[in-house]
Homo-oligomer: A and B are copies of this chain.
Amino acid sequence: MSERVPSLDALSEALQRLPGVGPKSARRMVFHLLERDREGGRVLARALDRALEEVRHCRRCNNLTDTELCPICASSRRDQSFLCVVESPSDIPAVEQAASFNGTYYVLMGRLSPLDGIGPEDLPFDGLDRRIAEGVTEVVVATNATVEGEATAHYIYDRLEPQGVRVTRLAHGVPLGGELEFVDGSTIDRALTRRYSLEED
């Protein structure tokens, strides 16, 4: 049979835009929200409105933030001369799990990918240059352990090494071919400890 309740269908479809949510889990979520936790639904709608309204990219490092400078850039407890370069804001929480890291970040908003036509001019390397000019002495490149991530790391080495910056790479320990975002904190800790200079490659 096919009698439908439009506002339930619309909510189910909207929930299925979330990663990992299919028709069955959307249906469970719909009934949970309407039968057991209407307050949770209201809280979620307001949190979405607020985040969409307030969250932008940090003007210094491209991290997601609801302030002009992200809390990491604004922190006096952070080593501003030690910079970790990542592909995406979603990689930052993974590195933050590593208790040994107290530097700052620069988010490339992508990686070099000649096959997709993405070259150096398509990524914000000018912002990286500005961060370097502010007194960065070491850059640890934490792009993903993929072909594109490795190529991006080498490009950064070639660009920054002549400026006298130490350019390192997360040590092996990050699973090859894996996405950084899903790596556990202790693996990243070890990879940070054993980071090596790209000169050795």
- Chain A residues proximal to chain B, CB less than 8 Å: 1, 3-8, 10-11, 13-15, 17-20, 24-25, 27-35, 37-38, 40-52, 54-55, 64-67, 70-72, 74-75, 77-78, 88-90, 93, 96, 101-102, 181-182
Which residues of chain B have C-beta atoms less than 8 A from A6's C-beta? 66
Which residues of chain B have C-beta atoms less than 8 A from A7's C-beta? 47, 50-51, 54-55, 66
Would B10 and A93 count as touching, CB distance under 8 A? no
Would A1 and B96 count as touching, CB distance under 8 A? yes
Say whether chain A's binding surface is mostly helix, strand, loop, or mixed. helix
With contacts A14-B43, A20-B25, A90-B31 taken as known, whether A51 is within 8 angstroms of B1 at the C-beta atoms is: no
9 contacts between A and B (CB under 8 A): A4-B71, A5-B67, A8-B66, A11-B51, A14-B40, A14-B44, A18-B32, A19-B32, A35-B64
Would A5 and B90 count as touching, CB distance under 8 A? no
Which residues of chain B have C-beta atoms less than 8 A from A1's C-beta? 72, 75, 77-78, 96, 101-102
Which residues of chain B have C-beta atoms less than 8 A from A17's C-beta? 37, 40, 43-44
